[in-house]
Amino acid sequence: MLLISYLVAFLISMGGDEMQSSSIACLPLPDHSVWSAELKKYVSADGKVNYRDWANNQAALDGYLAQLAGTQPLSNWSTNVQLAYWINVYNAYTVKLVLQHYPVQTIKDIYQGNPWDKAWITLDGKTYSLNQIENEYIRQRFRDPRIHFALNCGALSCPPLLNEAYDPARLDAQLTSRTKAFIADQYQNQTAASTVRLSQLFVWYKDDFKPDVISFLNTYLATPIPAEAKIEFVEYDWSLNEK
């Protein structure tokens, strides 16, 4: 009888695990439609953000963040679903951070000049900083250098905030489009002159661009940068990306 009892308990526990795994697998994928609508409402085509109006109308954004907070990021999601999730998380919480402290002249006015290391973002019961999301999840897990042109840090010299959500079904095209746009932006990079001037992003994250920064840039440039070109870096403007 004792053996039978153990066997029954084992089968019940196994069935419970399977039911739990099945229920997790059936959880709905993240829905970024509200975030996309908010971006269209408050962000211009060139990535400038109307923080003033958004600060007075945060209910929809808060609802989206509440959805994210209750979402369990799953390893069985496709790569595109996972990456789009983390990019949208990063950008949405960056906007929320600015709105919480608005008006500010720069995002560096928040948390003693280092808002990226403050752990305040709760997702599925775990607390993250923006730097953790960027470095431990987006960069380390996906190793796609194009993400640097999708993440927005709330400053004028950051890659502009896209005025729609990143969509798993179109993610590759969106990332390529943002990469090309940033590289071609004369405010950020001047690649046609004898002295090439580049964004500081290519200094801070140079190891992400394989085999090297110039080779990466030349993948997206109609006129390649010569290997012997002199390189300078543009001073970073931390002013708020506000319209």
Q: What pLDDT, in 10s, does the model give residues 121-153?
A: 999 999 999 999 999 999 999 999 999 999 999
Q: What pLDDT, on the 0 to 100 scale, is given for residue 49?
A: 99
What's the whole-number mean pLDDT along residues 74-85? 96
Please, what sign has the CA dihedral across residues 17, 19, 25, 28? negative
pLDDT confidence of residue 72: 81
In degrees, to the nearest 5, what angle opens at C-alpha 84 toward C-alphas 83 and 90? 90
Question: How many other C-beta atoms can be found within 10 angstroms of the C-beta atom of residue 5?
Answer: 9
Task: Provide mean pLDDT across the span 212-231.
Answer: 94
pLDDT class of 192 with cuts at 50, 70, 90: confident
Task: Please report the pLDDT score of residue 82 as a whole number.
Answer: 97
* Per-domain boundaries in the chain: 30-185
Name the β-bridge partners of 155: 240
State the pTM of this model: 0.89
Separation CA 35–CA 84 (nearest Å): 12
